[in-house]
């Protein structure tokens, strides 16, 4: 799941400076589950903002709406008429949702209310930990299910650095060494040979936004174009 | 949300009373409640309001006099803080 953290109120206030009527839009999927930008968080932020602006002697009118997913066109469509009533939009979705919203309403300022933090797992109520950097070249099959990109402070791909010390990382005594974990896990599984299966480094350079089209879901427009060309 | 809404609507203070720590029927329910109360206190502080307007107390259901003592303490606390500054600033538009 994508995990986010709400921005400090001062930062949000600064972005909304001068705005008198703003629609706050929550997202009902990842950010709702990680308690950062769902329906409840929209209500909390609106209450806090409304009080803050009233105390400043500069009241603001806030609308609230939470759609199923801000990264899906079909759910954003429901907002088309509503957005017209407001001078700006505050989005509590992840960075993808904010951008999709800004793309749909290019004449309207769209402000982010959360900082998108990582792809992670739920360790307890309200407690999340990072596990994936979505690097597009997953090697978890060779590393015993421990991601060297995410779990190693240096994102090393092919073994530990000199800073590994009794299973811990040199950056912090509370941070386990990812490559030590990989070694222990593979040893337990009798697959230590995997550690020697070196892989080319992921292509971090010159990255452009990635696109995924699942097999069997090629864009219908492309199909139409192909037909036309024939 | 209910705590925040009460302050937003002009309440001078709100307090939450939970069971004695360690005796909650829902095990960690009152510890969670305290966490939520602390969160609301932080939200109020963030916007320059006194966090002391929201407090959490713990007692058992058989402690009537303690409940009354806490109510008295909270009332005195609120009196010291004065009225909610949101009162008298004009009722703003509510979110909907």
Task: Give the integer Cα–Cα distance in Å for A138 and A132.
Answer: 9
Q: Which of B47, B89, B94 to mutate to test the interface with A (most CBs of A within 10 A)?
A: B47
**A198 has a pLDDT exceeding 70:** yes
Contact B86, A55 (CB under 8 A): yes
Q: pLDDT (tens digit, 9 = 90+) per residue, B46-76?
A: 999 999 999 999 998 888 899 999 999 999 9
Gap from B69 CA to chain A (nearest CA, Å) = 31
The DSSP annotation for B19-69 comes to PPTT-BTTBTHHHHHHHHHHHHHHHHHHTT--GGGEEEEE--TT-HHHHHH
- Asked if pLDDT for residue A26 goes beyond 90, the answer is yes
What percentage of residues in chain A have a pLDDT greater than 70? Answer: 98
Q: Which residues pair with A89 in a beta bridge?
A: A23, A110
How much of chain A exceeds pLDDT 90, in percent?
79
pLDDT of A207 higher than 90 = no
Per the document, the length of chain B is 96
Kindly report, residue by residue over A90-99, the tens digit of the pLDDT: 999 999 999 9
What is the rounded distance in angstroms from the CA atom of residue A139 to the CA atom of residue A157?
9
Residue B64 lies in a domain: yes
Determine, for residues A55 and B92 on separate chains, whether the beta-carbon distance falls below 8 Å. no
pLDDT confidence of residue A203: 74
What is residue B57's predicted lDDT score, i.e. its pLDDT?
A: 93
Give the CA-trace dihedral at B2, B8, B13, B14, to 10 degrees.
0
Position with higher pLDDT, A164 vs B95: A164
Distance CA A182, CA A144 (A): 6
Burial of A116 (0-12, 13-18, 19+ CB in 10 A): buried
The CA radius of gyration of chain A, in Å to the nearest whole number, is 22
**Is CATH 3.40.50.2300 what the domain over A2-118 is classified as, yes or no?**
yes
CB A27, CB A97: distance < 8 Å: yes
Identify the band that residue A219 occupies on the pLDDT scale cut at 50, 70 and 90: low
Per-residue pLDDT averaged across B12-16, rounded?
94
CB pair distance less than 8 Å for B1 and A48: no
Taking all residues of chain B, what is their mean pLDDT, rounded to a whole number? 87
ipTM entry: 0.80
Average pLDDT over residues A162-187: 95
Optimal mutation site among B12, B53, B91, B95, interface A, most CBs of chain A within 10 A: B95
Residue B92 lies in a domain: no
Query: Closest residue of A to B4, CA-based?
Result: A47
Residue of B nearest to A62 (CA): B95
CB nearest B96 (choices: A51, A59, A63): A63
Higher pLDDT, A73 or A215: A73
Chain B nearest-CA residue for A43: B1
Question: What sign for the dihedral angle of Cα A65, A68, A71, A72?
Answer: negative
Rg (Cα) of chain B, in Å, rounded?
A: 15
- B71: domain range? 2-81
Check residue B89 and give its pLDDT: 59
Q: Give the total number of structural domains in chain B.
A: 1
Whole-prediction pTM value?
0.85
* CATH 3.40.50.2300 residue ranges for chain A: 2-118
């Amino acid at each position: 799941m994508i995990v986010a953290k709400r921005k400090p109120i001062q930062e949000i206030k600064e972005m909304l400076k001068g705005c008198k009527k703003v629609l706050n839009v929550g997202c009902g999927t990842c950010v709702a589950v990680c308690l950062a930008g769902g329906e409840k968080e929209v209500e909390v932020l609106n209450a806090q903002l409304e009080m803050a602006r009233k105390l400043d002697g500069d009241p603001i009118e806030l609308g609230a709406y939470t759609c199923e997913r801000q990264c899906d066109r079909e759910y954003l469509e429901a907002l088309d008429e509503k957005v017209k009533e407001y001078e700006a939009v505050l989005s509590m979705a992840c960075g993808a949702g904010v951008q999709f919203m800004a793309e749909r309403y290019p004449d309207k300022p769209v402000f982010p209310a959360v900082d998108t933090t990582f792809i992670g797992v739920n360790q307890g109520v309200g407690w999340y930990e990072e596990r994936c950097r979505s690097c597009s070249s997953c090697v978890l099959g060779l590393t015993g299910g421990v991601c060297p990109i995410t779990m190693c402070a240096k994102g090393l791909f092919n073994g530990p650095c000199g800073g590994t010390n009794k299973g811990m990382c040199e950056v912090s005594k509370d941070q386990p060494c990812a490559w030590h974990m990989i070694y222990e896990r593979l040893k337990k599984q009798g697959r230590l040979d995997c550690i020697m299966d070196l892989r080319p480094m992921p292509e971090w350079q010159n990255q452009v936004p990635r696109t995924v089209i699942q097999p069997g879901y090629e864009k219908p427009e492309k199909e139409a174009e192909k037909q036309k060309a024939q | 949300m209910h705590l925040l809404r009460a302050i937003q609507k002009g309440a001078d203070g709100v307090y939450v009373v939970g069971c004695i720590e360690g005796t909650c029927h829902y095990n960690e329910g009152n510890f969670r409640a305290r966490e939520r109360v602390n969160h609301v206190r932080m939200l109020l502080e963030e916007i320059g309001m006194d966090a002391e307007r929201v407090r959490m107390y713990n007692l058992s259901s058989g402690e009537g006099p303690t409940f009354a003592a806490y109510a008295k303490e909270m009332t005195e606390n609120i009196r010291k803080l004065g009225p909610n500054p949101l009162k008298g600033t004009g009722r703003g538009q509510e979110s909907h």
